[in-house]
Amino acid sequence: MDAISNTGIALPANSQSNHELDRFFASHEENAYYVAYAALWHHETAMDVVQDSMLRLVEYYRDKPPAQWPALFRTILNSRINDVRRRRLIEQGKHKLVSFTGLFRKDRDDGNTMEEPDLPADDRDDHITAPEAGIVAAQLRQKVTEALRCLSERQRQVFVLREWRGMTTQETALTLGCSENSVKQHHYRALRELRKLLAEVWDYA
């Protein structure tokens, strides 16, 4: 009979690496979600990709040394992201833009703690009513969504990890499997592009 880890992954009951795997998933699952979400721009799909990647790590690599798990998990995750991307291109046409959904959605009732980050909200002193503020917020979210679509996939991943997750350059580089210099370049370019696209509605500087 399999044991169930804290992340919901079934682990072999007799495996000596159960506790190590459980700790590994607990410390890596959330960041993996944001990497997948930034690439695929859909909450449920990102969650599925992460869960599938975790299952594949258990199935094929649980007996590998724990020190190798981060690189293996990153490779599996990127492979699953690419699988989803290829499937989308086949379904929607190679030259058709993929429709990204889910950003800032607030109507989910699944209780999952990995919510999409909301826009920063300042204390209001301008006497705008709640309905008016809601309309403005919805319009702003739409503009932010459109602007983020314009970023490259890597720029969007770096932006999400650095700005939403608050990760350092080193942590982001380790998560994405790239150099710190690459992270800095993509972060700079993402911020520069967002400043340009959102100059009228939101100041990132």
pLDDT (tens digit, 9 = 90+) per residue, 72-102? 999 999 999 988 988 877 665 433 333 333 3
Look at 29-33, 78-82, 137-141, 198-202 and tell me which has the smallest mean pLDDT.
Answer: 198-202
Give me the mean pLDDT over the 67-75 stretch.
Answer: 95
pLDDT at 48 over 70: yes
In this structure, is residue 205 part of a structural domain? Answer: no
Structure tokens at 158: 């770096």
Which residues form the domain of 182?
A: 130-197
Cβ-contact 18, 5 below 8 angstroms: yes
Examine residue 204 and state whether it is found in any structural domain, yes or no: no
pTM metric for this prediction: 0.61
Kindly indicate the confidence band of residue 25, based on its pLDDT and cuts at 50, 70 and 90.
very high
pLDDT, position 115: 44
pLDDT for position 16: 58
Pick 41 or 103 by higher pLDDT.
41
Of the candidates 95, 81, 103, 73, which has an alpha carbon nearest to the alpha carbon of residue 7? 73
User: Band of the pLDDT at 144, cuts 50, 70, 90?
Assistant: confident
Determine the average pLDDT of the residues in 176-196: 93
What value does the mean pLDDT take over residues 120-128? 45
Any domain includes 149: yes
- Integer angstrom CA distances of residue 68 from 21, 88, 95, 164: 12, 31, 38, 27
User: Is residue 203 included in any domain, yes or no?
Assistant: no
Better pLDDT: 45 or 104 = 45
Tell which wins on pLDDT, 187 or 97: 187
pLDDT given at position 4: 46
The count of domains in the chain is 2
The verdict on residue 100 lying in a domain is no
What's the pLDDT band for 148 if we cut at 50, 70, 90? confident
Q: Same structural domain for residues 9 and 73? A: yes
Any idea what the CATH number is for the domain that residue 165 is in? 1.10.10.10
Evaluate whether residue 44 is within a structural domain.
yes
Q: Among 92, 113, 141, where does a domain finish?
A: 92
Q: Does residue 157 share a domain with residue 77?
A: no
9 and 77: one domain? yes
Sign of the CA dihedral running 191, 165, 51, 183: positive
Where does the pLDDT of residue 112 fall: very low under 50, low under 70, confident under 90, or very high at 90 and above? very low
Dihedral sign (CA 115, 121, 127, 128): negative
Establish if 154 belongs to a structural domain: yes
